[in-house]
Amino acid sequence: MAKIMIQGTGSSVGKSILVTALCRIFKQDGYSVCPYKSQNMSLNSYITHDGLEMGRAQVLQAYAAGLEPEAYMNPILLKPTSDKKCQIIFNGKVYGNSTAMEYHNMKLDFAEKLKTQFEDIEKQFDIIVIEGAGSPAEINLRDRDIVNMGFAEMVDAPVLLAGDIDKGGVFASLAGTMLLLTEEERKRVKGTIINKFRGDIEILKPGVKMLEDIIKIPCVGVVPHFTLDLEDEDGAVDFNKNKKADLDVAVIKLPHISNFTDFDALKVEEDVSIRYITAKENFGNPDLLIIPGTKNTIDDLLVLRECGLEDLIKEYSKEGLVIGVCGGYQMLGNVLKDPYGVETDNEEVNGMGLLDIETTFEKEKVTTRVKAKGNYGEVYGYEIHMGISNYGNNATPMFTIYDENGKDVNRIDGAINDRENIMGTYIHGLFDGIEFRERTLNKVRVAKGLKERESLHYENLREKNLDELADLVRKNIDIENLYRIMGINR
């Protein structure tokens, strides 16, 4: 079994997308390949077919490898609840909540479990493409590292070090990272990758040669900057990025926003632009307003209340179309209760009062894959929430869930008002399927005097873009050298 690990000079240098590209390239070349990231910190998560939670970045990588996403591809998921605390997901299930220091002290306990698990995965695939996290040069974390060089040494993986030239200072960041590694760690690095390059490669080449002379490591490729409609690397999202189009879809940028990949499927619609509202000043007059999920519903609601966005949402809801997803759905209700301190120290706060529901945060997390149907068509997706919402006399369910983790069920989800302009649901990914997306956007189009349109399959666009990504990376990286580094003779 062969393996290769992509580490980076820092966060958001493109490690996730490079792993995605390599997974698709190796699959195209006829190998069984699996993505792996021992520890991911992200508020973008996903529920597998067996009801386990994992990071979204490894989901896209799994699709690139032609696999169904599985929790073992991302055994540790850290979901921040504040600057110093996080929820720990281990092998898809809630392990507990901890401070940064508490988790730091736990790492060695996880190390042996990760090693044993990885050895089992090795037996199932020809190649494993491993992703690091942040930078391997965090020397204060070296003694308990389980995601960068510490993990590479644990499983004896060769490393490629990626740097982002678009940030500036790529030569210094690559050389500086190598300088801070130990001698044994430097030996493990078999090549560098310069990512997100714009411009004339001939101008860059002398710098690449000088870098190779300095660090004694070859550059295996320079990957150009590209724009494809693939999921953004968590933490690297440009929330100020705007595309002008006929339909203005606005998403509230909550302080603890989670699962913003819910709205990626809207990108396939040529007449839709997506923007993120960060303050009252850029609220505008959207055609559709979405309140997304969050890891801290109550605190984020209080922020909206304090900054004045809640008042604008309420005013907009008198005529506009509002959709709340998960935490956003909970905010639209009358009351939010947290008797066990699951999310916050606030035991009870009033909601926006736009839907007649009441939410109580429970100790157990709901993690399910679901299929559902309602007046706006059929949807499929997944639920990840601690809160349970109860209906008042004036609440009408939005969906009937008929499939839960592959089993037949019959239960209600979400709520919608009488005018059908305010709606909420716990189902993440509700725009991925055609029916709900098409009917919702056509409602907006008709209201604006525009013609109705047929929606496209999001999955087809994703597959096309994954192939385009693989082609681009294959042309700009020495793939045959990578095979040699992994010990594969072709």
Indicate whether 329 belongs to any domain.
yes
Indicate whether 478 belongs to any domain.
yes
Indicate whether 238 belongs to any domain.
no
Q: Do 260 and 376 share a structural domain? A: yes
Indicate whether 433 belongs to any domain.
yes
DSSP states along 394-454: T-B-SEEEEEETTEEEEEEE-EE-TTSSEEEES-BTTTTSHHHHHHHHHHHHHHTTPPP-P
Q: Do residues 32 and 129 make contact, with C-beta atoms less than 8 angstroms apart?
A: no
Indicate whether 105 belongs to any domain.
yes
Indicate whether 241 belongs to any domain.
no
CATH code of 82's domain: 3.40.50.300
Rounded CA separation 275/230 (Å)? 17
Tokens 């736009």 locate to 354
pLDDT value for 233:
55
pLDDT value for 235:
47
- Parallel, antiparallel or unpaired: strands 293-294 and 407-413: unpaired
Q: Do 222 and 192 share a structural domain? A: yes
Q: Do 388 and 305 share a structural domain? A: yes
* pTM of the predicted structure, to 2 decimals: 0.88
Q: Do 224 and 266 share a structural domain? A: no
Mean pLDDT for each 10-residue chunk of the chain (490 residues)?
96 94 98 97 91 94 97 95 87 92 91 96 97 95 94 97 95 97 97 95 96 97 86 54 83 92 89 94 96 94 96 97 97 95 87 97 92 93 93 94 95 95 96 94 95 90 93 97 94
DSSP state of 69: -
The two structure tokens encoding residue 411: 């239960």
What's the burial of 235, exposed, middle or buried (CB within 10 Å: 0-12/13-18/19+)?
A: middle
Q: Do 191 and 279 share a structural domain? A: no
H-helix or E-strand spanning residue 207:
helix 201-215
Rounded CA separation 336/104 (Å)? 32
Indicate whether 78 belongs to any domain.
yes
Work out the angle between the directed axes of helices 170-180 and 201-215 (0-180°, nearest 10): 20
Residue 130 CA neighbour count, 13 Å, CB half:
30
Q: Do 424 and 481 share a structural domain? A: no
Residue 35 CA neighbour count, 13 Å, CB half:
36
Phi, psi torsion values for 468, nearest 5 degrees: -65, -40
pLDDT value for 236:
47
Q: Do 266 and 224 share a structural domain? A: no
Q: Do 142 and 95 share a structural domain? A: yes
Closest CA to 409 of 418, 421, 400: 400
| Measured CA distances, 127 to 61, 150, 340 (Å) | 13, 20, 45
CATH code of 426's domain: 3.40.50.880
Q: Do 324 and 414 share a structural domain? A: yes
Phi, psi torsion values for 123, nearest 5 degrees: -70, -15
**Which residues constitute the domain of residue 293?**
247-449
Indicate whether 100 belongs to any domain.
yes
Cα torsion 44, 48, 54, 59: sign: negative
- Parallel, antiparallel or unpaired: strands 288-291 and 247-252: parallel
Q: Do residues 33 and 23 make contact, with C-beta atoms less than 8 angstroms apart?
A: yes
Rounded CA separation 136/8 (Å)? 7
**Residues labelled catalytic:** 326, 428
| Measured CA distances, 454 to 264, 273, 459 (Å) | 17, 17, 15
Q: Do 420 and 310 share a structural domain? A: yes
Rounded CA separation 375/271 (Å)? 24
Q: Do 220 and 278 share a structural domain? A: no
Q: Do 123 and 56 share a structural domain? A: yes
**What is the count of structural domains for the chain?**
2
Beta strands in 239-356 (DSSP E): 247-252, 257-258, 272-277, 288-291, 293-294, 322-325, 335-337, 348-350
